[in-house]
Amino acid sequence: MVTHPDDPAPATEMYRHRTETLSVDRGEGPPLVLSHGTLMDWTMFQPQLDALADDYRVVTYNNRARTDNWQGPYDLDDLADDCRTLMDAKGIDSAVLGGMSMGGFMALRFALRYPDALEGIVLIDSMAKPHSEDDQEQYEEMVEKTKATNEVPEQMAEIVSNLLFGRTSIEERTDLVDHWKDRWLTYPGEAVYDEVKSWLHRPGVEDRLDEIEVPVLIVHGEEDISIEPEMTEPMVDQLPNARRVTIPEAGHSSNLENPEPVNDAIRSFLADVY
């Protein structure tokens, strides 16, 4: 596992042809491992690295789709195995695992697959339920074009920006939104297709939440239209030890859009866990 410098790299052809897995491992203390969502990469956790690495060992990494190992098919169980391999390589026996969206889907499965390697979970704009059939059809139709052309069309990047960012960010944080739209255009379309397919038709795990005994922090942007905040209510009710924090002026990428309250919530959670 190759460690990348702390400063995020610009969106260039590097993202199309990068030949090694990228990760960042910063700080000392109890570990926090962070897994990104679809179309994102490790740099989406830069605000958490900056805020938490003084007190904790913060590790974040690129999932398969942002590496040369993007070829599918693979699923969320494979991504959970990848995360465990990363932890083993870094000598981390057990950690708090945080995941945004797809990373959260993976984190719940990691908890069921590797309960002894987990101290707690942070779910950022994620859920235990599967997507509805209508949502599955819409996402399937959108990513079919990326597979056919092996590119991310500009029209798709525009649509996705409205799914991954809240209205406040779209109106007031245009540099942030444009930065990610530009980055998405550098991705191999087939990698995006395989990434979406890894979770699109997943079964839900809501009927197994009572098996997850570690503490869980649920962080959710109040402007999230991809996974609306009320979709987290079953997790709050069914997880044995869960708390929820709603983030104002943030959508599906709440930790990136409005990081300060997210960092405060994670810091408080880590203090309780550790």
Structure pTM?
0.92
Per-residue model confidence as pLDDT tens for the chain (274 residues):
333 333 333 333 333 334 344 899 999 999 999 999 999 999 999 999 999 999 999 999 999 999 988 888 999 999 999 999 999 999 999 999 999 999 999 999 999 999 999 999 999 999 999 999 999 999 999 999 899 999 999 999 999 999 999 999 999 999 999 999 999 999 999 999 999 999 999 999 999 999 999 999 999 999 999 999 999 999 999 999 999 999 999 999 999 999 999 999 999 999 999 9
Q: Which strands sit side by side in the sheet containing 22-26, from one edge to the other? A: 2-3, 22-26, 57-61, 31-35, 95-100, 118-124, 216-221, 242-247
| CATH code linked to domain 2-273 | 3.40.50.1820
b/e map 131-160, b = 16+ CB within 10 Å = beeeeeeebeebbebbbeeebbeeebbeeb
Task: Please report, for the chain, the start and end positions of each structural domain, with discontinuous segments joined by +.
Answer: 2-273
CB neighbour list of residue 105: distance below 8 Å, 6 or more residues apart = 76, 99, 126, 127, 199, 202
